[in-house]
Amino acid sequence: MKHRFYPFLFYFIILFGTSHAVTCANADIVQVGTESPDFTLPSTKGKSFTLSAYRGVKPVIIWFSDCCGGCEGRAKVMQGLMEDYGVEILAISMLSNVHQTAEFVERVDIPFPYLIDTDFKVVKDYVDKYIPET
């Protein structure tokens, strides 16, 4: 799968409490100084999360993950950022298979919300051309 060759920084976007986005990738959609597109997605645990609920509260890192082997290590990095810097992490699965995502979350013991975007709408809003091949 060619998407695994993209640099690690491509996988996440940092959003500040001021609701302005800073892209850490070559995404054409979200630009520095623009308001982050809002979304509401369900997590693997069944609870829904809305990005705008965090605006003005604390920084949020949105991590787009395809639940690959390398993502296990990245999940620990994200957990460290959450603990060390007090940021919120919202991981968004880039898999269409909900069960595979839920198994990954359980196996890796991820402590932050892992959201399901089976139609890839949020992925397209943020990173436009990056759609996983499944």
- Just give the CATH number of 11-127: 3.40.30.10
Lookup: tokens for 78: 């994200």
Look at residue 39 and tell me whether its pLDDT is greater than 80.
Answer: yes
Q: What is the pLDDT of residue 96?
A: 81
| Predicted confidence band of residue 38 (pLDDT cuts 50, 70, 90) | very high
Does the pLDDT of residue 20 top 50, yes or no?
no
Q: What is the mean pLDDT of residues 61-81?
A: 87
Residue 22 pLDDT greater than 90, yes or no: no
3-state secondary structure the chain: CHHHHCCHHHHEEEECCCCEEEECCCCCCCCCCCECCCCEEEECCCCEEEHHHHCCCCCEEEEEECCCHHHHHHHHHHHHHHHHHCCEEEEEECCCCHHHHHHHHHHHCCCCCEEECCCCHHHHHHHCCCCCCC
Residue 108 pLDDT more than 70? Answer: yes
Asked if the model's pLDDT at residue 41 lies above 80, the reply is yes
| pLDDT(13) > 70 | no
CA distances to 41, 66, 92 from 118, rounded to whole Å, are 10, 12, 10
55 has pLDDT over 60: yes
pLDDT (average), residues 38-44: 94
Statement: the pTM of the whole predicted model exceeds 0.75:
no
Domain segments of the chain as ranges? 11-127
Q: Which residue has the higher pLDDT, 56 or 25?
A: 56
pLDDT of residue 35: 81
Residue 103 CA from chain centroid, whole number: 17
